[in-house]
Every structure is written in structure tokens, then in C-alpha cells.
Amino acid sequence: MYSPEGEKFNRIIPDAISVTRFGKIKLTLLVVLLLSIGKQTNGQELLLQIPATSEECYLRSFLFSDEWPVLYLGEENGMPSLENCVGHCKTSTMSDLCTAVAYAEDTRKCMLLRFGFEDENIGAVSAGYQSFYVIEDCYRALELTCEVEITVGEGSARGVKSVEIRTDVPSLEQCLTVCKVFEETTLCMGVHYSFLEHTCKLMVSDAQLRSGYKIGPDESLAVLKSCVERPTEESRNHTILIELPILSESCELDVIEQARVGGVESVSLHEGVESLSACVTLCKLLESQACVGVHYAHWSEICNLIAREENNHGLYYPVGENEIFAFIKTCRTSKLNACFIYSTLLYSVSA
């Protein structure tokens, strides 16, 4: 696409990229995507982090009244927070319709709504809720690892031109991030960045240009070659062994330490489950529901039984802090004392 010319490179450029004269490197870019849903002028605004979608969303609260029409879409129990409720709105089968939610903290109920549509029965179904929240702007931070072809120092390149200039851009990485954000609208394929002036020029290809595009001694031309999405957290998955006294078994669990898990869904929710062992036992007992794992919260004693969901359209299952998500790997007969097992069963039946 371009051919560097000239060999002058006799000063240290104040940037980590200065060690590279010409070649390919990998950079991490944090691209923020804005999803605008339409704003309302009234109501109280709040900003929430939504783990289920890795977004920050602005919500605006309203009281249920005839002045603000909403359509009832459905209701879920056992929702631990408003953030989880919003995440459910944005990842459920109703995600194309859901634009608002109502959340009752005392009952942990989450109601999915569509704002702007009349529902004559909304008064009855909203009796347990004080207000509802319209989802407005959502910002998603997408972390990309990009391969970049780079030239640093004086030279020239052919077949490229500048289409837009940004000032006060502090680093080459941020300049490339701007290019990636506006890739579709500007056809940006790379940047021309000045380390001294902190200017960022967005570049496009133009095969008709025969003259060389000049690069100064304290400047860089960087071309984006390929980018892949990188998880926001490194996976810290591990395996644990857990005893199931009721079933006289011990099971090996693959614990997934991530904020969201793809390709799964909750098939049933159980409250008052006192331990992870009891949660896994429920999964084993309900094999007819194709349970392959559990999502357990110690602090709320809520146990979600998990099944595989192959057609989830890229949606992710959210896992909160201090919660455990684990797949059941293998189980075998436990060597626990038979009398202890009998006592446990007897206690469970009498309770």
C-alpha cells in the first residue's frame, strides 16, 4: 500500500512506539461505542454499569401515570439489582422491544416495558412498583487488539491521503482509536500522528495518488491491518472438587471467573439454597432440564440452574461479583461414610 523512503531517524521520539522504525506491532485500543435510544426531558437521570453487556447506560426514572405510557412485556423474579434488571432487558428474547424496566428491590422483581405505548392494564401489573426507568444512551467499551503496520520518522508513503485532522490527541494509540471509531463513516485505514504537536490525521487509501505523502521526523504513519476483540478481563478459570452428601457423590466443577459467559441460559431459579453443594445437587436432580452447570450467589442464597443455549445470537449471561458460575465436569461415587450419608438424608426428610 505504501513504500517508505529516506533513512533519517536521528532523535528519540517521546513515545513507546519510538523504538520501531518500520514493521508490525500490536496495540490495544479501547473503543467506546455510543448507542443512542432517544432522550426524555423530564425525570431523574442516573448512570449505571451493566455487567451483562459491558456497557454504561443512562436511565431516566418516571412515576407510573397516564402521562407516561408504557407497555407491559413480562416479569422476572429473583433479580438481585436494577443493573441486572436492565441487563435482562437488553439480553432477553424481548431485547428488540424492551426500552424500559421497573424494579422492586424488596421483592427482587423485574418488569420489562416498552416506553411510549399505551397499556390499559399497566395499573394492575405495576402495583408492586413505585417507578420505572427508561433506558437512554448506552456506552460500550470494546477492547480490541490490533495489528498495526507502522513507520516512525522521516519518509513518505504512496496511495494515501488525509481526510480529517484532530488536535490535542495525547498518544498514537488514541489517534488509532479515533480511526477505528469512525472507520465506517470515513473509511479510515490508518493515521498520520505527530508526537510533538499531538495532531492526529485520519488517512484513507487513494490508488489514484502518485505523489508521496510526507512524514516528518517526529511523526508516524500507522496503518490498521486487523483487529480482534479482547476480553476486558483475563480468564482465571479453575477446577474445584465438591462433595454432594445427599447423592453420595463428589463432582469436579469448572469454575468460570468471568463477568459474562456466552452460549448458556438459566432454566430455573431457586431461592433459599444454603450452599454451592446444594445448588449443584439440584442441578443433578433435575437432569430432565438439561442442566449442565450452576450460577450461585452465597450472599443471597440464589441458585440458577444453567443449560446450553446454542442460538443465543451473541448474548452473554451476566455473573456478578462474589458469585460463582461453574460447569459440572465429572462426578463419581463419594467415599463418604454411609452413616453420615444416611444421617444427612434423614435430616433432610425431617426438615
Helix or strand holding residue 113 (H, E) = strand 109-115
**Taking all residues of the chain, what is their mean pLDDT, rounded to a whole number?**
77
Provide the pLDDT for residue 141.
63
- In this structure, of 125-129, 165-169, 301-305, 308-312, the range with the lowest mean pLDDT score is 308-312
pLDDT band at 132; cut points 50, 70, 90: very high
- 262 compared with 188, residue with greater pLDDT: 188
- Contact call for residues 173 and 145 (beta carbons, < 8 A): no
CATH architecture of structural domain 238-350: 3-Layer(bba) Sandwich (3.50)
In the predicted structure, residue 239 carries a pLDDT above the cut 90: no
- pLDDT band of residue 280 (cuts 50, 70, 90) is very high
Q: Is 223 exposed, middle or buried (0-12, 13-18, 19+ CB in 10 A)?
A: buried
Res 288 pLDDT > 70: no
pLDDT at 4 over 70: no
Give 86's pLDDT tier (boundaries 50, 70, 90): very high
pTM for this entry:
0.38
Q: How many CB atoms lie within 10 A of CB 84?
A: 20
**Residues spanned by CATH 3.50.4 within the chain?**
238-350
Report residue 11's pLDDT band, with 50, 70 and 90 as the boundaries. Answer: very low
Tell me the CA distances in angstroms from 318 to 53, 258, 315, one per residue in order: 8, 9, 10
pLDDT band at 96 (very low <50, low <70, confident <90, very high): confident
Q: What is the mean pLDDT of residues 50-76?
A: 83
Q: Residue 35: pLDDT above 70?
A: no
Amino acid at residue number 237: N
